[in-house]
């Protein structure tokens, strides 16, 4: 048996998220069906984490065990033939038998894309958030800087989350502007359900001065979900990269 790792890019728009669900087509289901067609084996894939419905990935990391004669670094060509055009494997390779995409991950980087101009293009639909309001960039990044470090993110989790602990450590967090677009990028050791989207929704309130920096700071010590801002749309969120403690450079 070989442990195969895949680096996958996908547009989340047409899926109910990475993970298999009863109602809805998941990336995982489509991927496992394509693997079956390519290597004639039923496999169970493990991803670095579930992405929610509508969320995209540039470098989702997935692994599965199989016995197959195709060279590991060529397997993705075979699987790609059976994938729809909104999912593509960028790379495949063999990893240590103990490697587990989810458990071995030490941190993840997401970004959230915001269109801050006046004329939202149809080409940006489901790929970025339309936010045409004037933003104070200094305040945005002052807020983002506060997110760094270890905090209790109970205010920034979907109310039906089943997580036991709300404590996570954020290694970097900032906004950057590129023309009419604003990118919010965050790296942490883990993320709660909807955490990035609620953080963005709340920080945007800071940016338009609907909420003070002081108020935002207080939310980082374990506050009620109701006190934070709203969950911005899934279409602006991208899983950018997953970092591992293996010696090899996975991506």
Catalytic residues: 52
Q: What are phi and psi of 2, to 5 degrees?
A: -110, 150
Question: Phi then psi for 189, rounded to 5 degrees?
Answer: -80, -10
85 binding its own copies? (CB under 8 A): yes
Residue with smaller CB distance to its own copies, 119 or 162: 119
Binding mask 108-127 for its own copies (x = CB under 8 A): -----------x-xxx-xxx
Rounded Cα distance, 232 and 78, in Å: 37
Contact with its own copies (CB under 8 A): which of 14, 19, 53, 86? 86
Strands (DSSP E) found in the chain: 2-10, 46-47, 56-66, 87-95, 105-115, 129-130, 149-152, 167-178, 181-188, 237-244
Q: Does 11 bind its own copies (CB under 8 A)?
A: yes
Q: How many CA atoms lie within 13 A of 91 on its CB side?
A: 12
Which CB sits closer to its own copies, 121 or 145? 121
> Which range in 24-32, 81-89, 99-107, 165-173 contacts its own copies by CB under 8 A?
81-89
Q: Which stretch binds its own copies (CB under 8 A): 86-94, 159-167, 181-189, 239-247?
A: 86-94
Angle at 92 between CA 86 and CA 94, to 5 degrees: 150
Asked if 249 touches its own copies (CB under 8 A), the answer is no
The token duo for 148 is 């760094």
Q: Which is nearer to its own copies, 86 or 94 (CB)?
A: 86
Q: How many binding residues for its own copies (CB under 8 A)? A: 17
The footprint of its own copies (CB under 8 A) covers 9-11, 56, 58, 85-88, 90, 119, 121-123, 125-127
């Amino acid at each position: 048996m070989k442990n195969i790792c895949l680096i996958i890019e996908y547009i989340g728009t047409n899926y109910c998220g990475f993970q298999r669900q009863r109602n809805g087509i998941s990336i995982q289901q489509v991927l496992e069906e394509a693997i079956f067609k390519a290597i004639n084996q039923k496999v169970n894939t493990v991803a670095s984490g579930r992405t929610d419905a509508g969320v995209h990935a540039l470098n989702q990391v997935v692994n599965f065990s199989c016995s197959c004669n195709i060279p590991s670094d060529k397997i993705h060509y075979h699987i790609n033939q059976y994938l729809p055009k909104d999912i593509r494997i960028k790379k495949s390779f063999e990893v240590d038998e103990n490697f587990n995409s989810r458990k071995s991950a030490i941190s993840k980087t997401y970004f959230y894309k915001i269109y801050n101009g006046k004329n939202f293009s149809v080409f940006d639909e489901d790929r970025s958030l339309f936010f045409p309001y004037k933003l104070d960039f200094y305040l945005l990044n002052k807020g983002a800087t506060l997110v760094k470090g270890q905090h209790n993110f109970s205010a920034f989790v979907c109310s039906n989350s089943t997580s036991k602990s709300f404590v996570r450590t954020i290694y970097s967090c900032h906004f950057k502007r590129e023309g009419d677009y604003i990118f919010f990028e965050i790296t942490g050791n883990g993320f709660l359900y909807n955490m990035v989207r609620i953080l963005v929704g709340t920080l945007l309130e800071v940016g338009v001065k609907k909420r003070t920096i002081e108020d935002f700071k207080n939310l980082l010590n374990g506050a009620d979900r109701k006190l934070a801002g709203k969950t911005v749309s899934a279409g602006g969120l991208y899983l950018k990269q997953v970092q591992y403690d293996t010696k090899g450079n996975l991506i």
